[in-house]
Chains A and B, each alone.
Chain A
């Protein structure tokens, strides 16, 4: 069956679909990056100078914990280990079978695990298909 061409109207449908662990991990990494930037005094001062409000840091931290709690312990541990090792970049894109974190080639037969999470065999990062 041909895939339906995405339209602005269908965005709301897909965004409301249940999230798989990889999507949650991507949300988590985006949120961690936002928290890091918001906690950085220089970044925060610059954003404030432009007129952006940044007062909801605690609320965002709470949202981060709630999101993290939806992942199983093993997946969360994989994320945290890779995040610590690679300065917050636990998840990297994979494009044309190349891990864009280390440029390693991902074997053709590499399978997504039970949770649809594929790790780069060279660097151990979690891979996100662009």
Chain B
């Protein structure tokens, strides 16, 4: 199914706009992200979520190159499709496909079952939003959630 721009915008949670992550490695960043998910009241406990994201990375890195990672997965701990965006100024090793450090991170979480199933199409839209080099450079400059929403609106319209 197609996921429209409004759905993409509505799936990103304002409290999961994190412009300055502080962790020094991939596991630390995942832990930091999951901590924000729990602090936002989106999950009751963080252990299942953290383990699921680590398992996904064990399957294969979610670093898609050009300084971008999209950690994602389904977990029973999650009630509905949610997403967050984070930045890491210094960059983190992520075993990315091009070997580059990751500076921009999209976190995407879904329950085991959705009606309708938007998880994979949503992932596709996020990847589409950062596929253009010029657009990616604009994303680096984003400093607030409204600016991030503007970025998505322009990238996906």
Taking a contact as CB atoms under 8 Å apart, the answer to whether B35 and A9 are in contact is: yes
Asked if B34 CB lies within 8 Å of chain A CBs, one says yes
Q: How far is the CB of B107 from chain A (nearest CB, A)?
A: 13
Asked if A7 CB lies within 8 Å of chain B CBs, one says yes
Stretch from B2-10, B40-48, B139-147 at the A interface: B40-48
Q: How far is the CB of A56 from chain B (nearest CB, A)?
A: 5
Taking a contact as CB atoms under 8 Å apart, the answer to whether A34 and B39 are in contact is: no
Closest A residue to B50 using CB positions: A15
Chain A residue numbers with a CB within 8 Å of B50 are 11, 15
Interface centre among A8, A9, A14, A130 (most CB of B within 10 A): A8
Asked if B97 CB lies within 8 Å of chain A CBs, one says yes
Chain A residue numbers with a CB within 8 Å of B60 are 52-56
Chain A residue numbers with a CB within 8 Å of B51 are 15, 27, 30
Asked if B38 CB lies within 8 Å of chain A CBs, one says yes
Q: B55-72: contact bitstring with A at CB < 8 Å (1 yes, 0 no)?
A: 110111110110000100
Chain A residue numbers with a CB within 8 Å of B74 are 30, 33-34, 37
Taking a contact as CB atoms under 8 Å apart, the answer to whether B31 and A51 are in contact is: no
Count of residues in B whose CB is under 8 Å from the partner chain:
38
Q: A11-B34, A14-B45, A23-B48 are in contact. Are A51 and B76 (CB under 8 A)?
A: no
Tell me the dominant secondary structure on chain A's binding face: helix
Contact with A53, one of B75, B97, B127 (Cβ below 8 angstroms): B97
Taking a contact as CB atoms under 8 Å apart, the answer to whether A128 and B76 are in contact is: yes
Q: A15-B34, A27-B52 are in contact. Are A130 and B123 (CB under 8 A)?
A: no
Stretch from A57-65, A68-76, A110-118 at the B interface: A57-65
Chain A residue numbers with a CB within 8 Å of B14 are none
Taking a contact as CB atoms under 8 Å apart, the answer to whether B52 and A34 are in contact is: yes
Asked if A105 CB lies within 8 Å of chain B CBs, one says no
Taking a contact as CB atoms under 8 Å apart, the answer to whether B52 and A11 are in contact is: no
Asked if A6 CB lies within 8 Å of chain B CBs, one says yes
Asked if B156 CB lies within 8 Å of chain A CBs, one says no
Taking a contact as CB atoms under 8 Å apart, the answer to whether A30 and B76 are in contact is: yes
Closest B residue to A55 using CB positions: B60
Q: A43-B120, A52-B62 are in contact. Are A26 and B48 (CB under 8 A)?
A: yes
Closest 4 A-B residue pairs measured CB to CB?
A: A53-B60, A11-B35, A8-B35, A51-B64
Enumerate 20 A-B pairs (CB-CB under 8 Å) in ascending A order: A6-B38, A7-B39, A8-B36, A11-B34, A15-B51, A19-B47, A23-B48, A27-B47, A27-B48, A27-B51, A29-B76, A31-B52, A31-B55, A46-B124, A50-B124, A51-B64, A53-B59, A63-B58, A89-B112, A129-B44
